[in-house]
């Protein structure tokens, strides 16, 4: 590998050819501010916040300027500082400045830069266009008045997810990032994955806040409010309270939920094990009886909506299993309600999810039981963090002891890995292998299925059958994989698709990780490591060996794939 020698602010550094000035400065521990830059997603040099002096007539954008041998870079000259400050003040002149009430206050990259550079937000006061708020969808809120036109959301939607629900419209001063033809986001092919929110450096994009509904339910003496947190929440929630990315806070999370006033705390991990029972049964049945193959997983609501919009011909290939969130809600309002002697009409099920698309899923007409929503309210990890903060709970000081309630909360190691891409596949294979072999297979780890590559493929031999499987990590990767399948270039038995890159750990409702931190830490990897550690810490690591799962089938469901199981735990999907 060719190495180039560069001097940045007097610091000599050697970097590989092709390295940008921004990356080289990072290696030299020199900070260069950015706004439009987002590692591996958006590198367009548009905002001009990262300009540096490279000895040319004009200042250069460090995020797109490749280094050259002997280059001398100055990042802190009077001209550089003045240019950055002017650019920032111009952005602020056309920005809706409501920092005190903004959901991104104290975690806003624009706000942070304004403090760092001492920007005067009034120096370029001028005319502004006031745009209407786009808040019709059940999942996302778009505020064009806070948008700084960095295009990070556009890159995430178009390049990573390959959807293109939003983009630049109009020209000049009237330019805004919005759906085409004056539509709102609900009228587009948006899958509500929330990757645009994760990419946004300001508060122009956020989740639809449903915390008031949760508080109202908790304070209603007529309601029994049950909460179920997803696997990925427990390895991200701590970040909102200053803990390192990927820290496991399962115990503290349940303690916080208890103090918030929820009547019962169950675990979506239980339903993850339940999903495996139904999904593995469905897969084995399709293989043995000539069902539609490949079978695609159905846990990711963003992927389901993407399939309904773009590949409706594959709807028969989708597993009919509901997501773990919906299965948990259905079991709470049937099995648990019956055992507890509670009127299901009085139960309010609150799901804490890493996902903004779960809000849409909760509202789907298909997800109903006897006229009731199986999940009444879905909130994100960020919303839960705001509730904890507003209640004055000192999260970091809470005990680590888990306080899940009994009956529908026990889980195995197969459950938490649902939150990482490849985890659903791995969990399903642990059970399918035992069933097809007719014995307990000792190996429970399928490490070839792990990682954040766009598409992963593997062949696993179980019960004399060579199972060909694949994993698509983002809808963009899913599109490539599906085209390959439809062209006859590959055949599989089982395909897992996670709408979000990295899986649920990187869902659109997870804590925001700023662009600077993302240059050094990949939250997908760090959070997934926490889930795999939780898996390894479990005594039981196969879903079908979960004693509570065995009991729910013996007492209530009968067997996996039974009529009652289909009535409660399976669903259908529609062409959009």
303 and 369 together in one domain? no
User: How many domains is the chain partitioned into structurally?
Assistant: 4
282 has catalytic annotation: yes
Reported confidence tier of residue 514, pLDDT bands at 50, 70, 90: very high
Q: In what order do the strands lie in the sheet with 377-380?
A: 264-265, 224-229, 347-353, 377-380
DSSP letter string, 471-500:
EEESHHHHHHHHHHHHTTS---SEEEEESS
Residues 358 and 434 reside in one and the same domain: no
Residue 304: domain span: 279-321+417-569
Same domain, 26 and 136: no
Q: What would the pLDDT profile of 35-51 be if each residue is shown by its tens digit?
A: 999 999 999 999 999 99
Instruction: For residue 509, give the nearest of 138, 303, 206 by alpha carbon.
Output: 206
Is 422 found in the same domain as 552?
Answer: yes
Using the predicted structure, report yes or no on whether residue 29 has a pLDDT greater than 90.
yes
Read off the tokens for 546: 């979960």
**Residue of 208, 358, 456, 479 marked active site:** 358
375 shares a domain with 249? yes
pLDDT of residue 400: 96
From the list 345, 366, 453, 567, the catalytic residue is 366
Tell me, what's the pLDDT at 447?
86
Q: Do 494 and 363 share a structural domain?
A: no
**Choice among 279, 383, 410, 534 that is catalytic:** 279
**CA proximity to 423, closest of 500, 314, 367:** 500
> Are 70 and 109 within one domain?
no
116 belongs to the catalytic site: no
Mean predicted confidence (pLDDT) in 118-133: 86
Chosen domain end from 177, 207, 237: 207
With 70 as the cut, is the pLDDT of residue 188 above it? yes
Q: What are phi and psi of 240, to 5 degrees?
A: -70, -10
461 lies in the same domain as 479: yes
Residues 247 and 284 in one domain: no
Q: Are 144 and 201 within one domain?
A: yes
- Contact status, residue 502 vs residue 524, Cβ threshold 8 Å: yes
Q: What is the pLDDT of residue 441?
A: 85
Does residue 130 have an active-site annotation?
no
264 & 315 share domain: no
- 423 is a domain residue: yes
**Cβ–Cβ under 8 Å, residues 48 and 65:** no
Torsion sign across C-alpha atoms 26, 28, 29, 33: negative
Residue 509 contacts residue 381 (beta carbons within 8 Å): yes
Is 543 catalytic? The answer is no
pLDDT of amino acid 123: 85
For the full predicted model, state whether its pTM sits above 0.85: yes
Residue 161 lies in a domain: yes
Q: 36 catalytic, yes or no?
A: no
Q: Which helix (H) or strand (E) holds 377?
A: strand 377-380
What is the rounded CA–CA span in Å between residue 495 and residue 422?
A: 10
Mean pLDDT of the chain: 95
Q: Catalytic annotation on 361?
A: yes
Contact 227, 218 (CB under 8 A): no
Is the domain of 421 the same as that of 517? Answer: yes
> Is residue 386 over pLDDT 90?
yes
Q: Say whether 323 is catalytic.
A: no
CATH number of the domain that 41 lies in? Answer: 3.10.20.740
The helix-helix angle for 109-117 and 78-93 (nearest 10°) equals 130
Distance CA 362, CA 143 (A): 24
Burial degree of 261 (CB within 10 A; 0-12, 13-18, 19+): middle
The two most distant CA atoms of the chain are separated, in Å, by 78
Catalytic choice (298, 300, 319, 378): 319
Between CA 199 and CA 541 the distance in angstroms is 35
Give a yes or no: residue 557 inside a domain: yes
pLDDT tens, position by position, 128-167: 899 999 999 999 999 999 999 999 999 999 999 999 999 9
**Residue whose C-alpha is closest to residue 412's, from 284, 547, 322:** 547
Active-site option among 200, 504, 542, 543: 504
Q: Let me know if residue 421 belongs to a domain.
A: yes
- Cα separation, 506 vs 409, in Å, equals 24
Place 1 in a pLDDT band, splitting at 50, 70 and 90: low
∠ Cα 156 313 572 (to 5°)? 90
Q: How far is CA 453 from the centre of its chain?
A: 16
List residues bridging with 205 in a β-sheet.
142
Share of the chain above pLDDT 70, in %: 100
Query: Which of 278, 282, 410, 496 is the catalytic position?
Result: 282
> Between 154 and 464, whose confidence is greater?
154
pLDDT digits (tens, 9 = 90+) for 475-499: 999 999 999 999 999 999 999 999 9
Residue 366 appears among annotated catalytic residues = yes
Q: Which of 62-71, 253-262, 443-452, 538-547 has the lowest mean pLDDT?
A: 443-452
């Amino acid at each position: 590998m060719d190495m180039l020698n560069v001097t940045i602010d007097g610091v000599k550094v050697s970097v590989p050819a092709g390295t940008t000035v921004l990356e080289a400065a990072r290696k030299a521990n020199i900070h260069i501010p950015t706004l439009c830059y987002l590692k591996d997603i958006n590198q367009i040099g548009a905002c001009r916040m990262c300009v540096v002096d490279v000895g040319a007539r004009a200042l250069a954008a460090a995020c797109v300027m490749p280094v050259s041998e002997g280059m001398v870079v100055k990042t802190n000259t009077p001209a550089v500082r003045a240019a950055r400050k002017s650019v920032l003040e111009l952005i602020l002149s056309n920005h809706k400045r409501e920092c005190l009430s903004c959901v991104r206050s104290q975690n806003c990259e624009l706000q942070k830069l304004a403090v760092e550079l001492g920007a005067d937000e009034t120096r370029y006061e001028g005319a502004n266009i006031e745009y209407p708020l786009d808040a019709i969808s059940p999942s996302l809120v778009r505020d064009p008045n806070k948008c700084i036109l960095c295009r990070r959301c556009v890159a995430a939607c178009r390049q990573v997810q390959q959807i293109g629900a939003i983009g630049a419209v109009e020209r000049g001063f009237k330019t805004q990032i919005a759906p085409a033809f004056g539509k709102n986001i609900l009228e587009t092919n948006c899958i509500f994955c929330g990757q645009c929110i994760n990419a946004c450096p300001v508060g122009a994009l956020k989740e639809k806040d449903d915390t008031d509904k949760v508080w109202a339910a908790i304070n209603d003496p007529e309601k029994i409010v049950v909460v179920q947190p997803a696997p990925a929440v427990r390895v991200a929630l701590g970040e909102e309270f200053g803990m390192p990315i990927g820290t496991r806070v399962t115990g503290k999370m349940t303690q916080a939920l208890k103090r918030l006033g929820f009547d019962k705390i169950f675990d979506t991990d239980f339903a993850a094990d339940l999903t495996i029972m139904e999904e593995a049964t469905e897969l084995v049945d399709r293989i043995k009886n000539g069902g539609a193959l490949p079978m695609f997983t159905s846990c990711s609501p963003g992927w389901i909506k993407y399939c309904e919009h773009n590949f409706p011909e594959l709807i028969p290939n989708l597993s009919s299993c509901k997501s773990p969130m919906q299965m948990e809600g259905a079991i709470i309002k049937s099995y648990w309600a019956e055992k507890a002697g509670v009127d299901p009409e009085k139960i309010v099920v609150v799901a804490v999810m890493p996902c903004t698309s779960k809000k849409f899923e909760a509202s789907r007409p298909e997800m109903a039981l006897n006229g009731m929503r199986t999940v009444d309210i879905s909130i994100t990890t960020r919303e839960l963090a705001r509730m904890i903060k507003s209640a004055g709970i000192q999260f970091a000081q809470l005990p680590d002891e888990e306080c899940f309630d009994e009956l529908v909360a026990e889980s195995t190691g197969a459950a938490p890995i649902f939150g990482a891409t490849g985890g659903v596949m791995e969990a399903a294979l642990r059970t399918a292998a035992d069933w097809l072999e007719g014995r307990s297979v000792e190996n429970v780890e399928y490490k070839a299925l792990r990682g954040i590559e766009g598409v992963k493929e593997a062949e696993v031999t179980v019960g004399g059958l060579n199972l060909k499987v694949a994993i698509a990590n983002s809808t963009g990767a899913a599109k490539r994989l599906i085209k390959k399948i439809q062209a006859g270039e590959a055949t599989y038995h089982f395909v897992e698709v996670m709408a979000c890159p990295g899986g649920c750990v990187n869902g659109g409702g997870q804590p925001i990780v700023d662009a600077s931190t993302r240059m050094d830490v990949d939250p997908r990897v760090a959070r997934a490591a926490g889930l795999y550690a939780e898996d390894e810490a479990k005594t039981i690591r196969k879903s079908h060996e979960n004693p509570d799962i065995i009991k729910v089938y013996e007492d209530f469901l009968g067997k996996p794939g039974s009529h009652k199981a289909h009535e409660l735990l399976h669903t259908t999907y529609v062409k959009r």
